[in-house]
A and B are shown apart, each in its own frame.
Chain A
Amino acid sequence: MTSNSFQLGGTGFGNDKAPSTGSGEGDFTNDPASSGFFSENFKRHEDLKAMLDGNKDNLKLDAMKRIIGMVAKGKDASDLFPAVVKNVVSKNLEVKKLVYVYLTRYAEEQQDLALLSISTFQRALKDPNQLIRASALRVLSSIRVLMISPIMMLAIKEAVMDMSPYVRKTAAHAIPKLYSLDPESKEQLVEVIEKLLGDKTTLVAGSAIQAFEEVCPERIDLIHKNYRKLCNLLVDVEEWGQVVIVGMMTRYARTQFVSPNQEGAGEDGKNFYESEEDEDEKEETEENEDEPKKKPYIMDSDHRLLLRQTKPLLNSRNAAVVMSVAQLYHHCAPKSEVGVVAKALIRLLRGHKEVQYIVLSNIATMTVARRDMFEAYLKSFYIRSSDPTHIKLLKLEILTSLATETNISVILRELQTYVTSTDKEFAAATIQAIGRCASNIAEITDTCLSGLVHLMSNRDESVVAESVVVIKKLLQMQSTGKGRKTTTEHKDIITHMAKMVDEITVPMARASILWLIGEYSERVPKIAPDVLRKMAKSFIDEEDIVKLQILNLAAKMCITNSKQTRLLCQYVFNLAKYDQNYDIRDRSRFLRQLILPAEKGPLAKHAKKILLASKPAPVLQSKFEDRDQYQLGTLSHILNNKTTGYKDLPEWPEEAPDPSVRNVEIPVPEVTTKKSERKKATKDKSFYSESESSSEDEDSDEESDDSDEDEESEEESEEESDDEDESEEEDESEDSDIPQKNNAPPKQSAPKKAPKVEKSESEEEESSSEEESSSEESEEEKPPPKSKASKKKPAKETKAANQNNTDLLLDIDLFGSSNGVTSSGGTQGSILTPSMASAMSNLTISGASSTSSSNFVQPMNIPLKSYDLLNRMTGNGLGITYKFTRTISVFSPKMVSIELTLTNHGESPLSGIKVGKKTLQPGMEIQDFPEIASLGTGASTSVLMAINFNDTTQPAKFEICTLEQTFKVSITAPVGELLQPHTMGLQDFTQQQGKLKGMTENTGKVTLPKEKSDAKSVVTNVLTVANMLQVPSSESDTVYRFAAKTMSEGVLVLVSVSVNEESANIVVNCEKMVIGTMLLKDLKSLLAKS
């Protein structure tokens, strides 16, 4: 402690304050509470006061430091308040900060004096420096004096409108402070919160939601309008804010959406297509609208949005964020999707032990309901001898819950090593775990039993005792479970246990043995009376629990074998009669009346039925079984007890509330010049992506966005304020458009729009001129409708596509404000802007594609082979063929795009054709085609669907439903279709090929038929087999090289074919060996075919 005193003294002026240095030491040592200390204390404070009253900053600072030292140590420094508070006006920043710290600590106790400082803060609230404004608000709101609550309210209201997001964030923090000080101000605060929730900056979002949660969590209606914005902002919010937002969203989802895990409880096809952000779900809802009577469950697009936007957060470095997403998925995601959180949770197990504890507790609860989720990670729960005990117990719990027939042998072997642990609590828990495994899995019960019997000869008493207790439970369970079949089998175990009675001293174990013998005394008729005799002898020395069991045993024996034991029984009852414990006295009295009644009563006749009734077996179940009731990741869940302020997670509503409440006004077309300018602005702030993401779906954002941007780009603001007026007018006109839009079907083309834009992003990165990219886009937009039209698409869809094209053109030509097309034109604009910006930040957009997509090049014109999906005979007239279009799927670059051609060969028109139930391998996804409303006789139509095969050749099985019938179909992609062409230079190719030697190389040789040995047919053949791209080669040799990447994982696939007269050498290099070999096989067979 001398070192401390030295430092404190050293920083001060040792010469003139010798006593203070001495007492400074007292501050930091465990003070001996000597009586002389107080006077010195008093003196010291005088001394500090003098320093504070002086006008030397150095002295003041030193005094303040020592005062803070006292505060930190928890010592009372309140009597210095008047001296300190004066210095709130100090010019010295360091002194000022320390005064602030002091003030927040003691203001509550010295309210009158604290008021003296208020005017200083009020002045600071007007300071031009945002940080000073913010810190003034912080301190002002931290002074817990009721009298100033009106001042605080004013300050908060002002700060919420502040230009600086940092000040607004501080304001958000101040709200709960004021609320706790003055709950009556709630109404006004809610208004303020509403304003804050509308804020678009990521800095504010988290704090705003925190304020919402603390003040008015019941006002869920405030969230509606901000829901989509929050979802889209989420990735960029700081980590702590993410936790709060995801927590709030969980509750929101539970009240606003219907359960994704129930069959047939769909929601009405409500009109919210106007939200243009969701490509895939929109189709689903469209289906829904067409057929409102039959309602299969379709996830609300907003529900999907939430799940999709939170998924990246699983990669957060912050355990709390990962956990909050995990609980969101656990509570709100469809069963099939919850699995994604497992990996992230397992990763957290490498964290600090406290983190492990919480995560394991949550996993333990999850495994009860979803065992399969963690089965693959079984080994991660193996216990290390260095784990703290509570972690060991949790892991054991999880291992037990994960046990199945298949893995039980591995688990049992693990458990065996744990039994010998020196940590006895843990060893005992292991035995219980073995018992639970044995009871859950019938096959191993006998093995476990013999193992446990073996453990009874263990040297450690607690191990023995625990085994006895578990054996008792198991035997009881078996005999009740399987009837009396096993009667003889366990005779030896009981005999063995009876012998152990002499050795075991743990009361619980002794009691268990006695109970067992009593219950199954007829199995060991010779031994049982003997045991009773011994017990009778030692009765008075036993523990209470054992005594009770001796009484039980005596009573049961007396019924089954009264000849031998009646006297013994009487003796025991007599002993018990005078026992000190009244429970035992009561029990003996009761049993005596039952067994040895003075006069034959009606009860005594039934004594046997009463005492030897078959008892229900104990259920060995997880301790975490009942924790289900609490929301995962909460304090209540950890404590298994309702904590203050815990609110039960609401049940899913039966019927989804109106989803249209989340709609925000329709986008407004913008003048092109402004757009490009905005783009510059967003480019500057490439990380600050709040505007991009938020405007992705709703447009009214953009207006307020602009106000955010004001600080950064001043020139912009003027211009935009003009626009704002304009756009408001347009808003009105759009509102009237909405009903029309619902009828008009631009949905079919809409989904394709967005990914296209993303595709062009890469180009935009280089040349950010607006016109260019949009024109590119419109060019790209054209081909698909054309091709579709040629295939006799329903008129409806073609029209929609056309309309869309016109919209685009109009938009470019600045005709955007003309009435009829306004809304969709604006839609286009709003999609365009954010996605461009997000290409730069690469943080917010939802699609997976980005710059890499620029590598894609369309292959040579190869005739597409079509396959039969549904024969018209089996399909009752409906015939379906499919072909791989080899285009990049609009839904996701990982998906193989497939065109289905449906033809009605039957007699009657078919209606409501759509995809039904899907049974997929893990990792596969199907993007359904839009429902076909009707298909007349002889008519034919083609639709696009997409499947992510996850780089396997496993079939994707699904059902095609018509209104009346369901057909099971499956699509298997030849390995060549799982690829997408990849551009590569020759040098790069050889280099990559060099890396993929050895195991990853497959070679084969084929003889080429004569007519097919020329360059063109070889290339064509290869390209027919696989969707690859030829690598340009300057050499005129006869080696043809092709490159591609697999769709889903982007693994490089390289093929080189060297033709030599009539034979060809094929070399396939691919990291995925399966793909390599299969591709080689396919190539060989086609090249050899004449």
Chain B
Amino acid sequence: MINSLFIINSSGDVFMEKHWKSVIHKSICDYFFEEQGKAGSPEDVPPVIATPHHYLLNIYRNQLYFVAVVTTEVPPLFVIEFLHRIFDTFEDYFTECSETTLKEHFVIVYELLDEMLDNGFPLAVESNILKELIRPPNFLRTITDTVTGKNTGVSATLPTGQLSNVPWRRTGVKYTNNEAYFDVIEEIDAIIDKQGNTVIAEVQGYIDCLIKLSGMPDLTLSFINPRLLDDISFHPCVRYKRWESEKVLSFVPPDGNFRLISYHIGANNMVAVPLYIRHNIQYREGSGGRFEVTIGPKQTMGKVVENISLEVPFPKSVLNLTLTPSQGKYTFDPVGKILTWDVGRMDPTKLPSIKGNISLQSGHPIPESNPTINMNFSISQMAISGIKVNRLDMYGEKYKPFKGVKYMTRAGKFQFRT
């Protein structure tokens, strides 16, 4: 399905290529560069590009383009999803997927790519299996490797996981401290209009796990109010039927970090919006303007809102801003025209505010519309939807694991129209 993969950095260098079928010369990427040139920003490059004989499907993440070449009809999402999976795997292996890390570990990268696809069709994608086939680099090993001169990361023993009944879990896991941590993370996506009304507010939730349990544990996670979750996607390890009938998550977990479920609580439910802003943005003739924003708490459920920051993309005609924040720091990027205000924690008794003047480029018409304000924040120890884990049971193993659940709410795409 996937013939070749090219990895391209932000300056347009094809710095890595891998072919699973016959070799396709990298000049094929010229078609991609052409489209890239047309697009205003890297995000605007169309994900699917047709060339006379090939089709290029690309993803853009962390300033890297992964361009897959296919020659025949294929479900495009198949390829795109897979490219993302490759990226995730790299991130998992090297903690960060960037040009530097990929170049640093090019042998591992190449071997991973070789294992993940056979004849362009996915072969071993589960991270547990891959890690058995190819060991991820770590600091200690890097040192010993430098001394001994070995570091392909190919493990000397052959893995068995691929053949086990639980293809996502490696076998023979042993820990001295058996722990299972669950992070319930919820992101609020919202659009708030000029008048402060909520146009749309949704919650996107995830349960990310860090499981360090020996042997083959069989876990059951139940919720106090599972009925909140009506739109879920599961990790393949979750037994769907158990969820359907009993609303409990029953699974044999993969080893290490993974995302157990992600869920979506749609716009039809009421979603609390923790913060409001009052804004006054005006452009005036004569190259000037006024900018004033105050943030206040709305429905914070008595929790402290932390890590608040605002991001305001201004139109090109804005030259600079001179502002005074009541707390935190602000920066204005004069090239990208983006104002960032790091507010930090909110003290409900003293509402954070920022005000000052906008200076406009003379000669340009004044902007017609006010910018949209993007907001970030996080609230720990709370899941905004109210979801709560009831209990975690373990079967199949004798020991008593240490269990922990953490809740966290943060802003997803949280926008104020002004």
User: What residues of chain A have their CB less than 8 Å away from a CB belonging to chain B?
Assistant: 3-4, 7, 10-13, 28, 30, 58, 61-62, 65, 68-69, 71-74, 93-94, 97-98, 101, 105, 108, 129-132, 138, 141-142, 144, 164-166, 169-170, 173-174, 176-177, 180, 203, 207, 210, 235, 238-240, 243, 247, 312, 315-320, 322-324, 343-344, 346-347, 350, 352-355, 357-359, 376-377, 379-380, 382, 384-386, 388-390, 414, 417, 420-422, 458-460, 633-636, 638-639, 641, 643-647, 684-688, 838, 841-845, 848-852, 1049-1051, 1071
Question: Among residues 107 to 162 in chain B, which have CB atoms less than 8 Å away from a CB atom of chain A?
Answer: 107, 109-111, 114, 118-119, 121-123, 125, 145-146, 148-152, 154, 156, 158-159, 162
Contact of A73 among B15, B104, B193, B236 (CB under 8 A): B15
Contact of B80 among A324, A355, A645, A838 (CB under 8 A): A355
Contact of B242 among A4, A324, A842 (CB under 8 A): A842
Of B90-98, B298-306, B367-375, the one touching chain A: B367-375
Residues of B within 8 A of A319 (CB): 77, 80-81
CB pair A247–B146 under 8 Å, yes or no, is: no
- In the bound assembly, the distance between CA atoms of A358 and B75 in angstroms comes to 10
Pairs A–B under 8 Å by Cβ, sample size 20: A30-B13, A74-B17, A94-B152, A101-B110, A132-B158, A142-B119, A170-B118, A173-B118, A319-B80, A320-B77, A320-B80, A320-B81, A343-B266, A353-B47, A390-B46, A422-B315, A838-B241, A841-B239, A848-B241, A850-B242
Residues of B within 8 A of A101 (CB): 110-111, 114
Residues of A within 8 A of B193 (CB): 417
Residues of B within 8 A of A97 (CB): 111, 152, 154
A169 CB, min distance to chain B CBs, angstroms:
8
B314 CB, min distance to chain A CBs, angstroms:
9
Given A240-B121, A377-B266, check contact A635 B48 (CB 8 Å). yes
CB pair A850–B315 under 8 Å, yes or no, is: no
Taking A354-B80, A355-B84, A842-B240 as known contacts, 17 extra A-B pairs with beta carbons closer than 8 A to each other, sorted by chain A number, are A72-B17, A97-B154, A101-B110, A207-B121, A235-B240, A238-B236, A320-B77, A323-B77, A343-B231, A380-B267, A384-B191, A420-B368, A460-B368, A634-B76, A635-B48, A635-B74, A635-B75
Contact of A239 among B104, B106, B236 (CB under 8 A): B236
CB pair B200–A324 under 8 Å, yes or no, is: no
CB pair A638–B40 under 8 Å, yes or no, is: no
B193 CB, min distance to chain A CBs, angstroms:
7
| A-B complex: 10 closest residue pairs judged by Cβ atoms | A645-B72, A420-B369, A385-B372, A388-B43, A354-B47, A688-B165, A842-B241, A240-B122, A320-B77, A646-B73
CB pair B59–A352 under 8 Å, yes or no, is: yes
Given A71-B110, A317-B259, check contact A644 B368 (CB 8 Å). no
Interface membership of chain B positions 226-241, coded 1 if the CB is closer than 8 angstroms to chain A and 0 otherwise: 0100011111100111
CB pair A317–B84 under 8 Å, yes or no, is: no
A24 CB, min distance to chain B CBs, angstroms:
11
CB pair B47–A346 under 8 Å, yes or no, is: no
CB pair B107–A633 under 8 Å, yes or no, is: no
CB pair B75–A1071 under 8 Å, yes or no, is: no
Given A68-B106, A358-B80, A1051-B227, check contact A379 B267 (CB 8 Å). yes
- In the bound assembly, the distance between CA atoms of A842 and B234 in angstroms comes to 15
Nearest A residue to B232 via CB reads A315
Nearest B residue to A10 via CB reads B146
Asked if B71 is at the interface (CB within 8 A of a chain A CB), the reply is: yes
Asked if B188 is at the interface (CB within 8 A of a chain A CB), the reply is: no
Nearest A residue to B261 via CB reads A317
CB pair B368–A61 under 8 Å, yes or no, is: no
CB pair B22–A72 under 8 Å, yes or no, is: no
- In the bound assembly, the distance between CA atoms of A350 and B413 in angstroms comes to 10
Contact of B199 among A58, A379, A422, A845 (CB under 8 A): A379
Residues of A within 8 A of B411 (CB): none
CB pair B55–A643 under 8 Å, yes or no, is: yes
CB pair B242–A240 under 8 Å, yes or no, is: no
> A-side binding surface: helix, strand, loop or mixed?
helix
A32 CB, min distance to chain B CBs, angstroms:
14
Nearest B residue to A13 via CB reads B149
Residues of B within 8 A of A3 (CB): 100
Residues of B within 8 A of A71 (CB): 110
- In the bound assembly, the distance between CA atoms of A302 and B119 in angstroms comes to 32
- In the bound assembly, the distance between CA atoms of A164 and B118 in angstroms comes to 18
Residues of B within 8 A of A93 (CB): 154, 156
CB pair A315–B18 under 8 Å, yes or no, is: no
- In the bound assembly, the distance between CA atoms of A1051 and B13 in angstroms comes to 58
Of B171-179, B244-252, B352-360, the one touching chain A: B244-252
CB pair A851–B50 under 8 Å, yes or no, is: no
Contact of B236 among A7, A169, A317 (CB under 8 A): A317
CB pair B368–A458 under 8 Å, yes or no, is: yes
Contact of B23 among A105, A169, A647, A1049 (CB under 8 A): A105
A211 CB, min distance to chain B CBs, angstroms:
9
CB pair A144–B149 under 8 Å, yes or no, is: no
A386 CB, min distance to chain B CBs, angstroms:
7
CB pair B415–A385 under 8 Å, yes or no, is: yes
Residues of A within 8 A of B162 (CB): 131, 166
A726 CB, min distance to chain B CBs, angstroms:
29
Given A644-B73, A1051-B227, check contact A390 B44 (CB 8 Å). yes
Asked if B166 is at the interface (CB within 8 A of a chain A CB), the reply is: yes
Asked if B19 is at the interface (CB within 8 A of a chain A CB), the reply is: yes
- In the bound assembly, the distance between CA atoms of A641 and B1 in angstroms comes to 19
Residues of A within 8 A of B403 (CB): none
Contact of A638 among B48, B70, B119, B202 (CB under 8 A): B48
CB pair B72–A643 under 8 Å, yes or no, is: yes
Nearest B residue to A323 via CB reads B77
CB pair A635–B55 under 8 Å, yes or no, is: yes
A633 CB, min distance to chain B CBs, angstroms:
5
Residues of B within 8 A of A164 (CB): 163
Interface membership of chain B positions 186-214, coded 1 if the CB is closer than 8 angstroms to chain A and 0 otherwise: 00010101000001101010000000000
Asked if B180 is at the interface (CB within 8 A of a chain A CB), the reply is: no
Asked if B284 is at the interface (CB within 8 A of a chain A CB), the reply is: no
Residues of B within 8 A of A138 (CB): 118
Given A68-B107, A324-B75, check contact A240 B82 (CB 8 Å). yes
Contact of A11 among B80, B145, B313 (CB under 8 A): B145
CB pair B73–A173 under 8 Å, yes or no, is: no
Asked if B320 is at the interface (CB within 8 A of a chain A CB), the reply is: no
Contact of B121 among A11, A73, A210 (CB under 8 A): A210
- In the bound assembly, the distance between CA atoms of A916 and B417 in angstroms comes to 53
Interface membership of chain B positions 259-280, coded 1 if the CB is closer than 8 angstroms to chain A and 0 otherwise: 1001010111000000000000
A715 CB, min distance to chain B CBs, angstroms:
18
CB pair A376–B19 under 8 Å, yes or no, is: no
- In the bound assembly, the distance between CA atoms of A13 and B74 in angstroms comes to 46
- In the bound assembly, the distance between CA atoms of A645 and B72 in angstroms comes to 5
Asked if B167 is at the interface (CB within 8 A of a chain A CB), the reply is: yes
CB pair A69–B73 under 8 Å, yes or no, is: no
- In the bound assembly, the distance between CA atoms of A901 and B46 in angstroms comes to 63
- In the bound assembly, the distance between CA atoms of A664 and B103 in angstroms comes to 54
Residues of B within 8 A of A142 (CB): 119
- In the bound assembly, the distance between CA atoms of A786 and B343 in angstroms comes to 75
CB pair B365–A166 under 8 Å, yes or no, is: no
B16 CB, min distance to chain A CBs, angstroms:
5
For B16, B121, B371, the residue with the greatest tally of chain A CB atoms inside 10 Å of its CB is B121
- In the bound assembly, the distance between CA atoms of A666 and B294 in angstroms comes to 75
CB pair A645–B73 under 8 Å, yes or no, is: yes
Residues of A within 8 A of B16 (CB): 72-73
CB pair B204–A639 under 8 Å, yes or no, is: no
Residues of B within 8 A of A686 (CB): 165
Residues of A within 8 A of B167 (CB): 203, 238
Question: Among residues 39 to 81 in chain B, which have CB atoms less than 8 Å away from a CB atom of chain A?
Answer: 40-41, 43-44, 46-48, 50, 53, 55, 57-61, 70-78, 80-81
- In the bound assembly, the distance between CA atoms of A97 and B107 in angstroms comes to 11
Asked if B21 is at the interface (CB within 8 A of a chain A CB), the reply is: yes
Nearest B residue to A417 via CB reads B417
Asked if B400 is at the interface (CB within 8 A of a chain A CB), the reply is: no
- In the bound assembly, the distance between CA atoms of A841 and B81 in angstroms comes to 28
CB pair A173–B123 under 8 Å, yes or no, is: yes
